[in-house]
Chains A and B, each alone.
Chain A
Amino acid sequence: MEYFTLFMGAVIVNNFVLTRFLGLCIFFGVSKSLDASIGMGMAVASILTASSALAWAAYNFVLVPFDLKFLTLPVFVILIAGFVQFLEIVIKRFAPALYNMWGIYLVLIATNCVVLGVPLINVESNFTFIKSIVNAFGSGVGFALAIVLMASLREKLQYADVPKSLQGLGIAFIIAGMLALSFLGFSGMIPM
């Protein structure tokens, strides 16, 4: 039950994009088409889970025992960027079909606020290994949900008559604001 609350909290209540404002570059950059946003959402969710596990291990087995906590940031950045690069090479070599579908997103998320933010939050909240994984997966699902919703809205928007100066990014932000408004309704549902 505890894990379920944590998961739902990460997906809806503390939605990564709409209440914590992380990963906005991707959120606005890739949400122009529905297909791309589904691919991106899945890529983020899986990378996030894997890199959180890796970061947890590095923090608890290396940084804490050797009293190197002040190096958390450089270590996490290099670890995660390296891991994503490694994954890219492996997928390119063994699953070219998957690479054609996902490769571009992997490059985009190598250094991104979501992928770095979640491990940092896990460390700050002193989560256990399983809790870290659950939180990371939930955050990834929340990101996917937000980006897919946004892409569906933006596809409809193509037929709308938007004032010239607001076209593109301006109206995208206003729509995201409305989306955030609806997610605000969930706040307080699950105490964090």
Chain B
Amino acid sequence: MNYWAIFKKGIFEQNPIFRLALSLCPALAVTSNVFSALGMGMAVMFVITSNNVIVSIVRRWVNPKVRVPVFITIIATIVTLTQLLLEAFLPALYKELGIYLALIVVFAIILARAEVFAMKNGIVPSFFDGLGMGAGFALAMLAVGTIREVFGTGAFLGIPVLPASYNGPLILILAPGAFMVIGLMIGMFNVIGQWQDKRAEEKQKANQLTVQRGEA
């Protein structure tokens, strides 16, 4: 399998938030502005990639019966490390993310990738799988954060991008807006997915038709 394919599948086909609907809590909680959304995305990307690499290294020595506790301990250690690093070097982000940073530990997506992919694959593919899944997560966070901040306050990363007369619906940066934006985005992803399926089907039909003609 080539690495690009492994990397790419996390971004659209199996996007953790919109397609798999895993790890939703932070997608709603810290996306009211782009800064914290992107920070959270990067933190998760780091955790998921390093966890995948470590799991793929130790997988030979872990008895399958105790694998889940082992994974959780590894994840908790990496998250603690991330917390300490952010607290030291990016205190503003650390404060903004608050408890949600600690809660990366219980993200289903991280455990799921360790179980489904890193446990069965070597170090390099696991690294790219983690990177792809992390990037998919970070991009989804960025998308939700951008929509909420730009349309809610008329700014991007705190810099005004819409005219000052723009009086956005404040609800977008409050709790209900988070649910609604994600709901509509899931709908949008479904539309794109359906369109792709349809196109694939048509292609198949066309192929069959040419085969039949060839036979005739």
Contacts and interface: CB of A to CB of B under 8 A. Distances in A.
B211 interface: no
Given A174-B184, A177-B183, A78 B69 contact: yes
Contacts, number: 116
B29 A169 contact: no
Contacts of B178: 21, 177, 180
Contacts of B186: 166, 169-170, 173
Interface residues of A, number: 41
A181 B79 CA distance: 33
Contacts of B76: 73-74, 77-78
A117 interface: yes
A113 B175 contact: no
Interface in B109-150: 111
Contacts of A81: 69, 72
A169 B83 CA distance: 32
A176 B176 CA distance: 8
30 contacts: A20-B29, A22-B25, A23-B25, A24-B24, A24-B25, A25-B22, A25-B24, A25-B25, A73-B80, A73-B83, A74-B76, A77-B106, A78-B73, A113-B25, A116-B102, A116-B105, A120-B99, A120-B103, A121-B99, A124-B99, A165-B187, A166-B186, A166-B187, A166-B190, A169-B186, A173-B180, A174-B183, A177-B176, A180-B176, A181-B176
B183 A172 contact: yes
A18 B73 contact: no
B174 A184 contact: yes
A interface, by DSSP: helix, strand, loop or mixed? helix
Nearest to A167: B190
B209 interface: no
Contacts of B83: 73
Interface string B17-28: 000011111101
A39 to B, nearest CB: 21
Most chain A CB within 10 A, of B28, B106, B183, is at B106
Contact of B24 (A28, A174, A184): A28
A172 B184 CA distance: 10
Contacts of B191: 165
A171 interface: yes
Contacts of A171: 183
Interface in A68-85: 70-71, 73-74, 77-78, 81
B179 interface: yes
Interface of A: 18-25, 28, 70-71, 73-74, 77-78, 81, 111-113, 116-117, 120-121, 124, 163-166, 169-174, 176-178, 180-181, 183-184
Contacts of B168: none
Given A173-B179, A180-B179, A21 B28 contact: yes
Interface string B68-81: 01001100110110
Given A25-B24, A28-B21, A113-B106, A180 B190 contact: no
Contacts of A28: 21, 24
Given A74-B73, A78-B73, A24 B99 contact: no
B155 interface: no
A177 B187 contact: no
